[in-house]
Amino acid sequence: MIWALVAVGAVLAIGFLDDHNVTKGFGILLAGALSLVAMIHLFTANHDGIVRRLIFVAGGSWAILAVAGLYILVARSY
């Protein structure tokens, strides 16, 4: 679910931001994804596995944003 939000956010950032601000948008997306996981665990009664989920969200979000960054590098360089 959070990875889908990061992917949609990356597409929107690529579509609406210029080259200089899109990497800032990616940083905001990554920080927002980690904050969302922390808030979900804060408001739920089950706190088991928070570190594992934070690592999975961070790794998956980083991978999605890395692919989006490669797209920017290749597509906008031509």
Question: How far is residue 47's CA from residue 30's CA, in Å, rounded to a whole number?
Answer: 21
Q: Give the pLDDT of residue 38.
A: 85
Query: What residues contact residue 24 under an 8 Å CB cut-off, 6+ apart?
Result: 17
Q: How many domains does the chain have?
A: 1
The per-residue pLDDT for range 46-62, each reduced to its tens digit, is 778 888 888 999 899 99
The per-residue pLDDT for range 8-33, each reduced to its tens digit, is 999 999 999 987 899 899 999 999 99
Structural domain harbouring 10: 2-75
Question: How far is residue 64's CA from residue 38's CA, in Å, rounded to a whole number?
Answer: 20
